[in-house]
Amino acid sequence: MALSGPEITAIVHGLLGTVFLMAFAGSYAELIQLTHAGMKRVKWGITIMAGTAIIIDLLGDLIYTVYRAPVPDSARSLIKAGSTPWVHEIGMELKEHVAHFVPVLMLIALFMVVYYKEDLVKSKELRAITAGLLVTAMLVTLVAFGLGAYITKVQPIK
Amino acid sequence: MAKKKQISGAAKTNGPVAAAMLSGSVAIVGIGVLHLLAEGSEAAKKALTFYAPMGPLSGKVVISYVVGLILFFLLKNAWAEKNFPNLRTWLYIVIGAVLLGFLFTFTPFVHFVLGE
């Protein structure tokens, strides 16, 4: 069975979400016990997180246009007409907005790493603040990721 | 094993990072505020629809991001030499902005605010 364009986009969107979470794990682990050698890995990890966050949002916006198409068989129309309209009214409304917080959070973290460079190795306080930004971005991503998975289960994009 | 040397602070000022955190917070809360505005007014919803297939979400995101970016470049220069006593406070502001963003885009809260 051939996959449609939106289905392939949705798969890549979800896959990049996994890459984001993997990059978070690596960056966070390095930040906890940062050394001069680990600084390069943190920079790469946070750059990958910021880059994937931006691409995920762009792909998500693309899928969103298919989801909310003003036709009777779009995912949004079917969910709203079905027995669980709250999936759109609460779940999708929240997801479509909070997902756009993540690139902002990641760009702040990336700016911190680029601005402070090696100072990050010297200051435990700066590492804790950077880690706090990463954890916040990861938690928001998990909410968006979980809601996305649930909405797709209720009504897949075609 | 040699004991790790603990160095308390950074040599650079923290003003530019505080600028990034504040402008990012404004962008995040901005998405929520514009959502409330769009839900409360059909005219606002229409005005925020920059790209029809995406609906008002396009305007909410574009306006919030652009305002955040402009604010960042203004504050980054203005606070280049500034050193705030505690950068952690700015992280709490970012977390507060995220929580407000969640609240403003949570449909039951939107209905409560709009008296629906």
Question: pLDDT, tens digit, for every residue of B60-94?
Answer: 999 999 999 999 999 999 999 999 999 999 999 99
CA dist A53 and A18 (Å) reads 11
Q: Is A133 on the interface with B (CB under 8 A)?
A: yes
Cβ neighbourhood burial of A26 (10 Å; 0-12, 13-18, 19+):
middle
Contacts of B7 in chain A (CB under 8 A): 122-123
**A62 contact residues in B (CB cutoff 8 A):** none
pLDDT score, position A155: 86
Give the model's pLDDT for residue A52. Answer: 97
Interface predicted TM-score (ipTM)? 0.92
Distance CA A39, CA B9 (A): 17
Please tell me the distance from the alpha carbon of residue A136 to that of residue A102, in angstroms, as a whole number: 9
pLDDT band (50, 70, 90) for residue B58: very high
How much is the mean pLDDT over chain B? 92
Q: Is residue A17 within 8 Å of A54, Cβ to Cβ?
A: no
B44 min Cα distance to partner chain A (Å): 17
Beta bridge partners of B7: A123
Whole-angstrom Cα distance, residue A109 to residue A126? 11
**CA dist B22 to A51, B26, B70, Å?**
21, 6, 12
Does the beta-carbon distance from B94 to A98 stay under 8 Å? no
Determine the distance from the C-alpha atom of residue B108 to the mean position of all C-alpha atoms in its chain, rounded to a whole number.
22
Q: Give the model's pLDDT for residue A34.
A: 78
pLDDT at B5 > cutoff 70: no
List chain B residues with CB under 8 Å of A116: 10, 12, 17
Percent of chain B at pLDDT above 70? 91
Q: What confidence tier does B10 reach under pLDDT thresholds 50, 70, 90?
A: low
pLDDT of residue B1: 38
Where is mean pLDDT largest: A3-12, A35-44, B1-10, B35-44? B35-44
Question: Could you state, in order of their start, the residue ranges of all structural domains in chain B?
Answer: 15-79+88-114
The HSE-up count of residue A117 (CA atoms within 13 Å, CB side) is: 4
Give the pLDDT score at B11. Answer: 77
Residue B41: predicted pLDDT: 95
pLDDT digits (tens, 9 = 90+) for A72-105: 989 999 999 999 999 999 999 999 999 999 999 9
Q: Give the pLDDT band (50/70/90) at residue B6.
A: very low
CB A62 within 8 A of CB A40: no
CA distances from A88 to A45, A73, A141 (A): 33, 15, 18
> Closest approach of chain B CAs to the CA of A65, in angstroms?
5
What burial class does residue A63 get, using C-beta atoms within 10 Å of its C-beta: 0-12 exposed, 13-18 middle, 19+ buried?
buried
pLDDT at A1: 65
Neighboring chain B residues of A133 at a CB cutoff of 8 Å: 91, 94
Highest mean pLDDT pick, A18-22, A116-120, B6-10, B24-28: B24-28
Spans of chain A, pLDDT less than 70: 1
How much is the pLDDT for A27? Answer: 92
- Neighbour tally for A70: CB within 10 Å: 10
